[in-house]
Amino acid sequence: MKCSYLAHGKVILIGEHAVVYGYDALALPIMSLQIKTTVEPNSQMWLDTACYQGPFFTAPDEYNGLKYVVKTMRAKANSNEPLKITYTGEIPTERGLGSSATVALATSRVLNEYFVLNLTEEEIMAITNHAEMINHGKASGLDAATVNATNLVFFNQKMGPQTLNAKLAATLLIMDTGELGSTKEAVNQVHTQMELDPAKKQMIAQLGQLATAAKTAWLNQQQVEVGHIFNQAQAILQAFGLATTKINQLQKLALANGALGFKLSGSGLGGIVIALCPNRETAEKIIAASQTLIANSWIEEI
């Protein structure tokens, strides 16, 4: 018996870091970025990914969240059956595109099907979120909620995810800096600064307030206002030292070529950046201007 599940990535539009402290965030599923997870019987527990092929439980530490999912699901099934678990497709890792949440969710779902466990949605999301805690040290639940959604997600820890079937009538440009961002390092950096400086705590609160304002502007299709909010959020993220030299260069290029707003997306210290554009033509113009600085780019109509 062989089972497969296809899951997609995400981008955080606004509220990264603030969401960890209970404030609001907005995130968007990216349906064009997908990973397929396949489970089948094997002679031993085996993991097959683009970066690692070998015995499952001796895989490097970056797979610890995944190991937790598999151990948990096998325990629920009361099974020691050796399996081969294969991941195909492409979501760049350590970029803020949700790769760890995507594979954790997909693995939970495919093993639920394989073992006929009939777990509830809440149980599957709890396993996925715990894997994210292992991966990142502290996780809000936003990534897992967004890779599990097909529409815009408004999120805070108190209310959980709310999906919004609303279009901004704009274009989102996602650019990969090619720089690996470490979520754990970035989260710890923000936490340390907040502990040392009360003004930094206030800035995180302001970031959450900007996410709330972005939701209102989005629902009213106020593209220029959303862009302005993105720029304010980026200034806060820069103040925490989360923007690299390359991110700052891309910001200047994007705004000079017609972007309504620009910010990093995810934890920062590398990873991806997003530019809100009035149309596809503007996005393509920014890509052309940024070609020597980026590893890849995607255009999403939002």
For the segment 9-61, what is each residue's pLDDT rounded down to a tens digit? 999 999 999 998 999 999 999 988 899 999 999 999 999 998 899 999 999 99
Q: Is 268 left (phi over 0), alpha (psi -120 to 50) or beta?
A: left
User: Which residue, 272, 248, 279, 276, is CA-closest to 262?
Assistant: 276
Which one, of 282, 211, 269, lies nearest residue 243 by Cα?
A: 269
Answer with the one of 163, 182, 214 that is the final residue of a domain.
163
Q: What pLDDT score does 130 carry?
A: 95
Question: How much is the average pLDDT of 152-159?
Answer: 90
Top-confidence residue, 66 or 157:
66
Which strand (E) or helix (H) includes residue 131? helix 121-136
Q: What is the C-alpha separation between 66 and 105, in angstroms, rounded?
A: 10
> Which of 163, 191, 219 corresponds to the end of one domain?
163
Confidence of residue 139 (pLDDT cuts 50, 70, 90): low
Using the structure block, give the residue that is written with the tokens 């996602």.
174
**175 and 159 in one domain?**
no
CB atoms within 10 A of CB 86: 18
pLDDT for the residue numbered 32: 83
Q: Give the pLDDT of residue 183.
A: 79
Domain carrying residue 107: 3-163
Distance between CA atoms of residues 234 and 57, nearest Å: 40
Q: What is the pLDDT of residues 225-275, one digit of tens each?
A: 999 999 999 999 999 999 999 999 999 999 999 999 999 998 899 999 999
* Count of CB atoms situated within 10 Å of the CB of 281: 11
Judge whether residue 7 has pLDDT over 80.
yes
In this structure, the answer to whether residues 157 and 235 fall within a common structural domain is no
Same domain, 97 and 25: yes
Q: Are residues 118 and 178 in the same domain?
A: no
User: b or e along 107-131 (b: 16 or more beta carbons within 10 Å of the residue's beta carbon)?
Assistant: bbbbbbbbbebebeeeebbbbbbbb
Residue 168 has a pLDDT of 96
Statement: residue 90 has pLDDT above 90: no
